[in-house]
Structures are given as C-alpha cells and as structure tokens.
Amino acid sequence: MITQKMKYGLKALMELAAERAREGRPLRIEEIATRSGTPKRFLEHILLEIRNAGFIASVRGRHGGYVLIKEPREVPLSALMRLIDGPIAPLPCLSRRAYQRCEDCPDEDACRLRKVFAQVFWSYLVLIESLTLADLVEQPGSLDVVEAARRVEI
C-alpha cells in the first residue's frame, strides 16, 4: 500500500507533467496544491525530496515555481516510491537496496515466509519497475498491465 505522502507526491508530479505538456511554465506550490488537492504544508517537504533526487527543479523569481525536468517516461514510479516511502519489499531480507537479515530467521534459504513472499514480491516488482509517470498522465485508465510488464528489464 502506498502512503498518503506518496499519493500527494504523485498528484503533484502529474500536475507538473501536465503543465510541461501545455505551456511548460513553472508552477508555484500554491498552484500545485490547489490543482492536485494536496495540502500545501505537506507538499513543500515532498517536493524538496523530489527536487533533491533530480526529477524536478525549482525556479526562483516572480514567475518561479517548480518544473518537471525529465520526460514523464524517464520518471520511474518505483524510484519515487523508494524515495518517498522507503523500501518497497514486504520483508527486509527481500530488499535489494535496504537488505537486512531478519533477526528471528536462522536460515534464509529454508525460510518459508521468505519463499512465499519472494514470489509475490517478484510479480509485484516486475510490474512496478515497468511503470513511469507517463503511465499516470497519458490516457489514464488504459494501462495494459501485460504490456507494462514486458517493458521491464530486471
């Protein structure tokens, strides 16, 4: 399950992607908050994280704001999920980037929990790794899950 923070971040990025496609002008945080239905006080922190990761930029000045600096197809949802929510694996021993051995597990190779959740997580990961911001902004509701899974290179 994604967090509310993640939903706010995705909604903000969708607005920035839509503006990039229209006029490409920077959007003030107030505009993004209003358009996306996101509380401004939460959005400030989220956009800073996303900016520091290099997906958006802030423009100073009277007509400043935030702009999406990457093509929507170059913004992987999995990277955003990890950035905003942290590891996405259901067990710490399955995480590629934040691996930790489970304290209560004497043998990972024999762990039945790990085996079952690894299969579920692998299926989930194949799909999540294939999705980009473009999948959220281009023709919403028409995502072909099978085609999305084919695009992934894990």
Residues written for the chain: 154
Q: Name residue 25's amino acid.
A: R
Mean residue pLDDT of the chain comes to 89
- Give pLDDT tens digits for 53-100: 999 999 998 889 999 999 999 999 999 999 999 999 988 888 888 898
Give the global pTM: 0.81
CATH number at residue 13: 1.10.10.10
- Give pLDDT tens digits for 47-64: 999 999 999 999 998 889
In the three-class reduction of DSSP (H, G, I as helix; E, B as strand; rest coil), residue 128 is classed as helix
User: What is the pLDDT, as a whole number, of residue 97?
Assistant: 85
Domain count, the chain: 1
Contact 73, 134 (CB under 8 A): yes
User: What is the pLDDT, as a whole number, of residue 154?
Assistant: 47
User: What is the pLDDT, as a whole number, of residue 61?
Assistant: 87
Domain that holds residue 151: 1-154
Pairing of strands 56-59, 65-68: antiparallel
